[in-house]
Copies of this chain bind each other. A is one copy, B any other.
Amino acid sequence: MNGAESLIATLVNNGVRMCFTNPGTSEMHFVAALDEVEGMRSVLCLFEGVVSGAADGYARMTGVPAATLLHLGPGLGNALANIHNAQKGHVPMVNIVGDHATYHLQYDAPLTSDIVGIAGPVSHWVHSSAAAEAIAKDAAEAVRQAGIGRIATLVLPADVSWGDNPGGAEAAVSVAGPAPVAAERLQQALAMLQSGKRTAIMLGGREISGEVTLLASRIGVATGARILTETFPTRVRRGAGTGMLERLPYLAELALDSLKDLEQLILVGADSPVSFFAYPDLASAIAPDGCEQLELAGPDEDIEVALETLLESLDAVDAVPQVYPLELPDLPVGALDANAVALSLAHFLPEDAIVVDEGITAGMACFPLTANAQPHDWLNQTGGSIGWGLPAAVGAALACPERKVICLEGDGSAMYTIQALWTMAREHLDITVVLFNNRKYSILELEFLRTGARGGKPGPKAASSLDIGNPDMDFVAMARGMGVSASCAATAEEFNQQLEAALQGRGPYLIDARIPPLALG
C-alpha cells in the first residue's frame, strides 16, 4: 500500500468518507488511490473555495469532518476564506494539501510556497508529513485534532504519497466528544438565574438543536431569563415546535439597545457578543458595562446535558417551553421585493428543509418570517467571508440527500464562488437557490452610511464601487451555462410559482429574484 492509499484508508477507518477535491499534479497519487481504497466518496469542484465551503456544509449536517484535497499553497489560498468561515463556526475539517516531493522543495519550482505558513492562521493544527511510513499515523492524528470542531491541515508531499507504506492504514483513533461542563460553572449559572437580576442566556456553538431550544425555553419560562442566540449561529433548529429564541441583531446599534438593561449574561456555546465591525463612536463590546458574564459552556462542551442539569437544579423539569406554532403566511402578490420572497419561502418551506443563508441584506426578512414555518435547520455565515452559501449548500445536500436544501444567496456574494453551481448539476443535488438580484452591494451601501465615511455620502467613485449593476448580471444564463436549470422572477406571483415548482421537483434549480436594492436613508 502506498502512502496515499494508507492515508485514504485511515481517513475512512476514522469515519471521514467524503472528500471534496480540486487536485493538481502533486496530488495524482492521491487521486489514483481513490480507486484502490473502498469507502471514500470524491466530489470534484472547479474552485477551491467551493471545496472548503462544501466541506463546511457537509460537516455541519453530519457532525463528521469531510476531507478537502487541495493543490499546494495557492490551492490552499483559494480555499482559505471558507476554511476561515468553518473555523469561526467551530466546524471540523481535515484539509489535505499536496506539496512537491520533499527532495524537490530545495529547487524552488514555480509552485513552491510556504504551505505550513499559509495554513497556520486558519488551522488549529498543521503538520507536514515527512515520509510515507508516517502518513497514516499523521492522518489519524489529523482526524483526532479536527475532533468535533477544529481545522486540521495535513501537508502531503508527492513522494510521501507515492512512497511505500508497509505499515498500511491506521485503525480508528478516539475522537473526543463534547466535554462535560464543570459543576462549578453550573453552580454559578444557577445562582445567576436565581438572583432575580435581569439575565439572558445566549446560545451558540456548533449546533442549537431542537432539544436545546426547548430546554433553554423551559429555563427561560422557569426563571424569567431571556433566551437569545448569537447573531449567526452555525446551525439552529427552527420553525413549528421549536423553542422560542431571540436573535441578537446584526447592527451593533440595535444589538447594544437590545442588551442595554442586562445585568447578567450566561454564554452557552456562544462568545461574548461583539460588534461585527468597528465604527467610529460605537462600542465594540455589545453587553453593557457592568453586566456580569459567565461562559457556562464552550462550543466543545456538552450544551444539552448542561441545560438539562440546570433545569433539574432549578427544579423546573415541568416548565412548559414556549414553542412556535405552525403559522404559514398567505402568498404575497404584486411587485417582488425581499419581504415577498420571505413570505413565499415561509409559505412553501418543506418540512425538515435545510436553509443555507447568505442572503445578506436581501435575506434579512427570511429569518424572522420563517419562525412559524415547518420545522427546519438554518445554517448561517459564521466568519463573515462571503462566497460561502452556494458551496455550503453543496455540502449540506451531499450530507442529507433526502432533505431539500434552500440556499438564500446575494448576487454579490454568489459571485465569489459561483462555480458551485456546476457541482450542484454534476451531482444532481436537490438544492433550490434563491438568488437575490438587487444589482448592488447593498450591505456596503449600508455600511458606508454606518461608518460615516465622507459624511455617509459616497462620491461617484465610491458609489460605483458599491454598484454591481453595470453590467447587470444574468444569473439564469450563468446557471444554465453550468448545467443548472433556472428562471427569473420579477413579480411575487412569478416567484411563488417558480419556488413551488422548484421545491416540488428534485435537483438543482436557481431562481433569479429581481428585487429592488435596500432602501436607505
Which residues of A approach B to under 8 Å, CB–CB?
21, 23-26, 28-29, 31-36, 42, 44, 46-47, 49, 72-75, 77-81, 84-85, 88, 100-101, 103-104, 107-111, 113-114, 117-118, 120-122, 158-159, 162, 232, 271-272, 274-278, 280, 284-285, 382-385, 387, 412, 415-416, 418-419, 422, 425-426, 443-444, 447-448, 450-454, 458-462, 464-466, 468, 470-478, 480-483
- Point out the residues of chain B lying under 8 angstroms from A25, CB to CB: 276-277, 443-444, 447, 450-451
- Point out the residues of chain B lying under 8 angstroms from A120, CB to CB: 114, 117
A415 to B419, Cβ gap below 8 A? yes
Q: How far is the CA of A111 from the CA of B443 in the complex (A)?
A: 15
- Point out the residues of chain B lying under 8 angstroms from A158, CB to CB: 277-278, 451
- Point out the residues of chain B lying under 8 angstroms from A33, CB to CB: 453-454
Question: Closest CB of chain B to A126's CB: distance in Å?
Answer: 12
A46-B465 in contact given A32-B448, A444-B23 (Cβ < 8 Å): no
A276-B110 in contact given A46-B468, A74-B385 (Cβ < 8 Å): yes
Question: Closest CB of chain B to A361's CB: distance in Å?
Answer: 12
Question: Closest CB of chain B to A21's CB: distance in Å?
Answer: 6
Most buried by B among A29, A110, A461: A110
Q: How far is the CA of A278 from the CA of B162 in the complex (A)?
A: 11
Q: How far is the CA of A422 from the CA of B77 in the complex (A)?
A: 23
Question: Closest CB of chain B to A76's CB: distance in Å?
Answer: 8
B422 to A471, Cβ gap below 8 A? yes
A454 to B84, Cβ gap below 8 A? no
Question: Closest CB of chain B to A281's CB: distance in Å?
Answer: 11
A471-B426 in contact given A276-B109, A418-B419 (Cβ < 8 Å): yes
B28 to A448, Cβ gap below 8 A? yes
B107 to A465, Cβ gap below 8 A? no
A275-B104 in contact given A111-B384, A448-B32, A475-B481 (Cβ < 8 Å): yes
B36 to A454, Cβ gap below 8 A? yes
A412 to B46, Cβ gap below 8 A? yes
A111-B383 in contact given A25-B447, A78-B80 (Cβ < 8 Å): yes
- Point out the residues of chain B lying under 8 angstroms from A459, CB to CB: 32, 34-36
A465 to B81, Cβ gap below 8 A? no
A277 to B109, Cβ gap below 8 A? yes
The 18 sampled A-B contact pairs (Cβ below 8 Å) are A28-B444, A32-B458, A32-B459, A34-B465, A42-B465, A44-B465, A47-B387, A74-B84, A77-B84, A100-B277, A100-B278, A107-B274, A107-B284, A109-B274, A109-B276, A114-B121, A158-B278, A162-B453
Question: A118 touches which one: B46, B80, B88, B451 (CB < 8 A)?
Answer: B80
- Point out the residues of chain B lying under 8 angstroms from A477, CB to CB: 477-478, 480-481
- Point out the residues of chain B lying under 8 angstroms from A483, CB to CB: 471-473
Nearest-CB residue, chain B, relative to A31: B462
A277-B415 in contact given A23-B444, A42-B461, A462-B31 (Cβ < 8 Å): no
- Point out the residues of chain B lying under 8 angstroms from A458, CB to CB: 31-32, 35
Q: How far is the CA of A276 from the CA of B285 in the complex (A)?
A: 50
- Point out the residues of chain B lying under 8 angstroms from A382, CB to CB: 110
Question: Closest CB of chain B to A381's CB: distance in Å?
Answer: 8
Q: How far is the CA of A466 from the CA of B42 in the complex (A)?
A: 12
A46 to B478, Cβ gap below 8 A? no
Most buried by B among A21, A44, A460: A44
A453 to B107, Cβ gap below 8 A? no
Most buried by B among A32, A33, A162, A471: A32
Q: How far is the CA of A152 from the CA of B202 in the complex (A)?
A: 42
B84 to A80, Cβ gap below 8 A? no
- Point out the residues of chain B lying under 8 angstroms from A476, CB to CB: 481
Question: A280 touches which one: B84, B114, B162, B460 (CB < 8 A)?
Answer: B162
Question: Closest CB of chain B to A3's CB: distance in Å?
Answer: 12
Q: How far is the CA of A465 from the CA of B460 in the complex (A)?
A: 46
Most buried by B among A44, A85, A159, A385: A385
